[in-house]
Structure 1
């Protein structure tokens, strides 16, 4: 068995459900892998997307695969054809789809991008595919360059793939799978960051990837969540993009989805008949005090309204306003005016003394519209606060809060359409959520959205009650979603347990999550132990440590001989050498490797097509403590790879244990199963750069002697492949 953690879900040559033979690995991620395979029945080449074992039992990921399977109802050349999900006997789930030959658009971006005319062709074809998908109420949500394949490299034949969003969740992948957001940050629409998803997010993503494909690099969205949120609220920089591609991208990627092209059909109409854009943006600089470097994005007037007529000078500045003429004295109207002035004066004096008009005499700040504040504390990172505040006191309070939490506050003094108590309410709100290990507050005027999480169930209940409904600070309204996330179990805490029970080679965690195991996740262990008692003790220790998490142990129980050899076998990767078992009586394949007393095992070793040099060593380690050397031995001494190939190309099969009928003259090695050595026998296939031993080893020797010889070898082992042969009584 292989203990290499890089081993894939399937191996090249595997046949799934007696139909699909794996030919090539196309891609690997943290949750799934994609393979090229061929139907053994029809010969049709397909792509298979397989979930790793732990995710094949996760309802969320199965739902994503099912969602992707629903794409089979769509019939369009620009959308990959899906078929159905299947499950292997081992519980692995995979999805069958058409195989599309050609580079991804991401590869073209890495090569420097594509010209504008080619991108207009791609835009039309992809938009046609989106019309078909959206017509079935299916939104991609993760449209990005790597999800568009140019069939045979032709811009006229792009194909949209991967509607499942079951992506790599490692931090570098920049893709989140969950309730709130799905998609790559660089191409995601601004509203996706707030969990709002409809067909318009695909429109935005298509525009953003067209810009990336023209520039030869993705849009710059910053390096942290605060920068992402800020830049997503701004138009994409399309300076230098030629028309009509520039206007098309601008209209597809407007930050306000209501002002964006609304449907894929609108995109096609715009490509056919480009129209002038009535939306633009300008940066207005406010030069007031220490905030002189702050800018705010506001709508400009339409091009027609702001441009002077041809050959006409700009309009002259308006003349100074003439002072108002005093009202005539006497008469009824004059008396009313005097009374009104006296009343206002008295009211003004009372207001001044009471402080009711403090805002009228406070400093005047630039108007912000919309009036926004963003505050976030990503998990295990400092807090960041960015946006508008109405007064210096609020600014100072929020800066102090940011510093107390080890972060920063970048705030602009602004006036706007907000309640009088907005500043104090916001300070109170952020103070309440600041106790959470991870939180985010988005404020648009008086409406706020609060999200966060905590591993403390009591804290989650308390804050949810304190911020819900009428409990929200008086001047604010909005939504609150504080999730309870059970504590994360770090993979490193399980290492001592595995080490303490490793009596037959190393025990390993398979694909441990980078951030640790959540409460509803699975802990997968791979390896071997020397006896049932060790396996039971290992299971008990791990169960006590992981709490409510599921434990899956792919741990074999080997005999002391196999464990002895496992401890000294070279630490080398698998080399792809096949080990095929057959029945001696008729040559039938026996993939289980299980033989009964009296039966004649036949063993073939398959040399991979790309291995043409080195030396091959094949041994069988049985439960009695003996080692049988199948290659080389006295009957088959030449173990050079080139000699074994004898000029043959491709995979070459070498028989190392023969049928009894072929060995009657004593020229070949053959054996039968007797009742003295029942149990597991390990077949070991080693490819080394040179001869491992001084001369031939005896055909049969003790495990101890073989282990000592292995320890003495100082050369380089290229690969190590193993298999298990099982013998049992009838």
Structure 2
């Protein structure tokens, strides 16, 4: 269990999706957190891997979660069962898994050596689980003591968990998290350091962790990266092991994959009849080039049950990564985490043995022994603090741009320098980060807008500092700015009813990670509204999308695009019911109702002429003022000397129309939807005479187009209002 923090996504007691009551935090990673929870329905305990909310709208991370869900196809009691992804109401994505109650082998490791009989039982059980995974062409890649749990403390009930960096070795498939080096280097197979992974890598890791639990301590790989490289090429020390455990570990952990058991099935066959297995072939450790032994030669053809990841035909580059390169140029940065030290300027010092006395300095004591290394906004990498040797000082200087380093001794682990260097190496492309180390306590925080890089780093660190360093790794994902031009182009392609307006981004050149994409205006139909929302959401990467749109209809939009450009005159529209005479401020009328429409002039409009038309949902235009039966439309005549705010009735009740001759209408089910009332205030009459009382939208649009030049200077203002008709 891990202590909860205020910054965690959930705290004990929280209820997820009205079903899962959070009980405790099991683990933190750069992209997700894992919780133990209890189903309020069944009472069963479950494990929930929850993607951090900032990634839930990012396809790169949702695809990774979907791939991990596919592990559920592995059906074996020695492999944790995955269920499926779910989404909460607020958009969080989580993966449902079985919760395995019992100690992990990492806990058993801290308790001391384990009996060989228990380890052989665990080996059989885990090999059976690996065999099931490998048949599905899934390689775990991160087998270590913390990823094997003994259900109920029983070795015969060992369960493999955490396939979060597993690799699907089907042609064209990708690693569940990232594509480069994965696995904890203490237990990783030698070929994993160069990105080569197949089923035999899992066999190596299983053997290495069994040996660690036999001895009750983690493998000692050396005090510096070069020693790690060299030690990974050597057979593990098995001299003190009893048979057949000794032969088992030798054959599982041969440095060259070709010399190992070639499948989990072969491991199981050995466990069933160790005396009947062929003798172990002598290992060849005489390669002239140390990289040959590290990377390995092409393997012989294997049986159908064994999965092979094709090897690259070109050796990976040995130069350090350069910040700013493309994804393809970065390939191999994390994969060559260890090998890259051979190319550093201090490589000669590592190889010469000049660092043999690295942890026997005679320097003043620093208490605390502190080091800070950081990079801000893609700038220079700066380091300040203590280092335990001149050689370590030189190695750090190879990885930073500026440094103030003080030689000192202190209460630090034997592998302190190695662990710090391993932590720094994969950060070459991370634009902003800070590593703080105080004695053996360390924390690494940073942020990136590169989803692939974050996935690689999360797969490598697993949320924890490496080696003997104690602390967390917290690399946050920060979306890059979304270019204004991308949003404007999408909006422009959906403008089918006049121009649409976007609210400019606060940062000027693009939208910040949490900034809302806001669009206002009018569109011709619901289909346009939906398409615009979907198109913006596809590029928003989790940013909110807010549409403030009037959904009209194609007929209204034909006219809309030919209306003159004029400011609002402050003219408003009041609605009332023709039967009850009660006001209807919503402007919504139902079938059978008789709308009354009043155009309300502000006190400053006292002269000129009014043209009032209503464009209904069927594509017809009715001219309410002027028309054949009501030709007078001068403001002065309509006011008849009245001042102030003044209402002018343009659509009457049925009762009134019989005496006034004005237009009246009732809502029927053939005209349901939105109609638009347009009020033009002009200095002179428009259109060179009366328009017919009713005409098509296309005809009225043409009249607007042909009279645009003549009437443009006469139009003083344009106001409008929407009237909606609907079924009860």
The answer to whether TM tops 0.5 is no
**TM value normalised by structure 1:** 0.42
TM-score (norm 2): 0.42
Higher RCO (C-alpha under 8 Å, 6+ residues apart): 2
